[in-house]
Amino acid sequence: MSELGLYAIRLGLLAAGAGIVAGIYAGLNRNADWGRVAERAVYLVFGFLAVAMFALFWALAQNDFSLAYVAQHSARSMELHYRLGALWGGQAGSLMLWVFLLMAFGSAGVFANRKLHPSLIPWVAVMLLLNAAFFLGLLEFLTNPFERLPHDQVLSDGQGLNPLLQHPVMMIHPVMLYLGFTGFATPFAFAFAALVTGELSTSWFRTTRRWSLIAWLTLGCGIVLGGRWAYEVLGWGGYWAWDPVENASLMPWLAATAYLHSVMIQEKRNMLKTWNVVLIGLTYTMCLFGTFLTRSGIVQSVHAFTDAGWYKPIFLSYVVVAATLFYGAVIFRRKELASPNRLESVVSRESSFILNNWVFMVLLAVVFGFTMLPVFSESLSGERLTLGPHFFNVVTGPLVLILLFLTGVGPLVAWRKASPASLRRQFKIPVSLGVGSTLVLAAIFWGEVGYWALTCWGLCAFVAGTIGQEYTQAIRARVRAHGESPATAFMTLLRKNQRRYGGYIIHMGVVIILLGISGSVFNYETLENMEPGDSVEVQDYRLQYLTAEPITRQHYGGATARLALYKDGEPLAVMEPEKRIYWLEQQPSTIPSIYSTWSEDIYVILNAIEPDGSATVKIYQNPLVNWIWAGAILFAMGGVAILWPHPARPGSGQPA
């Protein structure tokens, strides 16, 4: 079976090369027959990659330790789902998953549009196959997942997957991130095809809007899942540390969010044509750069795959060539991309969206600059200068507040030009809610919190007021006009204008996430050494240390501390944080114990069991942290509402 996977990669590389040649010939000569050859090459490469994926899954499931990849990342002691998940636990397997998902998205996009945009398809195929050929070349020549060990080095068991990755979230978090990264290759390819052919109307982004939304949504969900994994597994009490690899997933999401807002202006007002092409190019370039950052070892990260010397120049050259090719086409078509319409008023929805875009770009530049600062500083001065989370928070905090404000302003302002009367009418309730909430909360928490939290709470109320007003006005109009119940009117709104009202659900999810993040201003932590019977007070809670017990498992050992948790004298739970050492990997691990409510988490880490039997524990009280996960669920529901297929409207011939 492994030989089948090996030859599938080789045949896929050959098919990609042939498809590239066919696509270029078809595009230059407008030859439909060669265009179909390029199209079928996309499907063929996807088929070969599917075979290779199945072969590696089979090797992992069957414990084929004659393969170096299986021996390095799997072990007999691992459960089947973790053995299969080891496919993306290492360099070669993760790259194969990357290119497999890229071609899965690409094949679907090409198939769905082969008749609608026949002139674009050859160039779309060329761009997709160029990407696939690069990754297949890496898999074939530099990091082959089907490489066999010499017979005298084959052992009866493997080294196993990093214990930190053996967690349910890690079965889906990397896949979601890769779906986001690779999903943007399809709109990128269509934009490139539009630039090459000169077909620069709105058709290219209308065609790929759904693909862009899917990629954006899955990337966003993947980022939150990564935060949840870090919170539950890494044992430091937090969910986001501005780690370079965390930032690698955030940067393309920021660019894509700007793009999804900006294309609305082109669709409504036929403006920003150049800007939208630039943004989709930037989004996919950031996806490629994020992949490079994760695997090159150019910056230090607990998530990085490798620091192999060959990887940096090869992959960085690929990123530069892809960006140069795309933006070279943008420069070549700059005259055709000129928009006929201009901004008519500063007080308009277009203006708020443009400002929204620029704030996203500043935020992206800050994250990129701070992340790469160690590399830049070392190249200039020979010293690696690294900024901690505090610097990121100080600089990005105000930018997030500006974006939150614009989230509330956008729906309240009319297109083209807003009149003073409409502004007064639209802003009255949301502003009253925002200002009133800020004043009340400032009176309650005066001196306890800083400007960021108070401003965030007021703006969250403002945005919630905007969303509530938009829904209320629309539902009342439908109830009066059609006699529908409020619930029916709500569902009808989602069906008839999914992007608008589904977008409001997404915005509400973001509001709840930010409220959850703002709870960190009340975080409390303490480090205690406790003997059996000792108690420690944490706000309204009391933790009593009961005993410590050894952990003796086949694959790891360590200790667990048992602490009784009380609130107002009432017992709530027995918390059991663990300190482990995994024998095979010789890797220590801290497993926190978490008691969760909707208002807060009590989070306990076992630092050490001392020789005298006492335990050193670190205790966190994290208010509102679960609102982050609740907001993420609402965010995902809004995305599903936008993407949910509906029957065609009567007489329209088009989906609703």
Domain assignment present for residue 385? The answer is no
563 and 496 in a common domain: no
Q: How confident is the model at residue 621 (pLDDT cuts 50, 70, 90)?
A: very high
- My answer on whether 253 and 289 are in the same domain is yes
Higher per-residue pLDDT: 1 or 26? 26
Q: Is 484 exposed, middle or buried (0-12, 13-18, 19+ CB in 10 A)?
A: middle
Top pLDDT among 654 and 559 is at 559
Instruction: State whether 59 and 113 are in the same domain.
Output: yes
User: Distance between CA 614 and CA 545 in Å, rounded?
Assistant: 9
The answer to whether residues 96 and 69 touch, using CB atoms and an 8 Å cutoff, is no
Placement of tokens 């001065």 in the chain: 381
Q: Choose among 345, 356, 223: nearest CA to 279.
A: 356
User: What's the mean pLDDT in 75-95?
Assistant: 90
Asked if residue 379 belongs to a domain, the reply is no
Q: Are residues 155 and 29 in the same domain?
A: yes
Which among 317, 348, 374 is the end of a domain? 374
327 assigned to some structural domain? yes
Contact status, residue 168 vs residue 91, Cβ threshold 8 Å: no
Summarised one tens digit per residue, pLDDT across range 326-381 is: 999 999 999 998 887 787 778 888 889 999 999 999 999 999 999 999 888 888 88
Tell me what pLDDT residue 163 has: 84
| Strand 556-567, strand 593-596: pairing | unpaired
Q: State residue 300's pLDDT score.
A: 65
Residue 91 located in a structural domain: yes
Tell which of 161, 182, 206 closes a domain.
Answer: 161
Which H helix or E strand runs over 573?
strand 570-575
Q: What are phi and psi of 339, to 5 degrees?
A: -90, 135
Q: Does 29 share its domain with 82?
A: yes
Asked which of 161, 192, 211 is the last residue of a domain, the reply is 161
What is the spatial distance between Cα 97 and Cα 119, in angstroms, rounded to a whole number? 30
Flag whether 384 is in a domain: no
pLDDT mean across residues, the chain: 91
Q: Report the distance separating Cα 182 and Cα 88, nearest Å.
A: 15
Tell me what the mean pLDDT of segment 47-61 comes to.
Answer: 97
Claim to verify: residue 636 and residue 617 sit in the same structural domain = no
| pLDDT at residue 155 is higher than 90 | no
76 shares its domain with 119: yes
The whole-number pLDDT of residue 652 equals 41
Domain presence at residue 578:
yes
Q: Regarding predicted confidence, which is higher, 101 or 312?
A: 101
Residue 606's nearest CA partner among 541, 549, 522 is: 549
pLDDT in tens, 595-611: 999 999 999 999 999 88
* Claim to verify: residue 257 and residue 288 sit in the same structural domain: yes
**Residue 557 and residue 475 share a domain:** no
Report percent pLDDT > 90 for the chain: 70
Say how many C-beta atoms besides its own lie within 10 A of residue 338's C-beta. Answer: 10
pLDDT at position 267 is: 83
- Residue 302 clears pLDDT 80, i.e. is over it: no
Q: What is the pLDDT of residue 6?
A: 95
Determine, yes or no, domain membership for 347: no
Long-range contacts of 246-249 (CB under 8 A, 24+ apart): 246/303, 247/293, 247/367, 247/368, 247/370, 247/371, 248/289, 248/290, 248/291, 248/293, 248/294, 248/371, 249/177, 249/180, 249/181, 249/219, 249/222, 249/223, 249/290
Q: What Rg, from alpha-carbon coordinates, does the chain have? A: 27
Which of 168-172, 179-183, 503-507 bottoms out in mean pLDDT, i.e. has the lowest? 168-172
Mean pLDDT of 442-458: 93
Residue 494 belongs to what H/E stretch?
A: helix 486-496
Residues 28 and 51 in one domain: yes
Q: How many domains does the chain have?
A: 4
Same domain, 561 and 603: yes
In angstroms, the Cα distances linking 414 to 368, 409, 535 are 34, 10, 60
Res. 651: pLDDT tops 60: no
Are 105 and 225 contained in the same domain? no
653 — pLDDT class (breaks 50, 70, 90): very low
**Average pLDDT, stretch 585-601?**
90
Domain that holds residue 638: 392-521+628-643
Domain for residue 656, yes or no?
A: no
Provide the pLDDT for residue 305.
Answer: 61
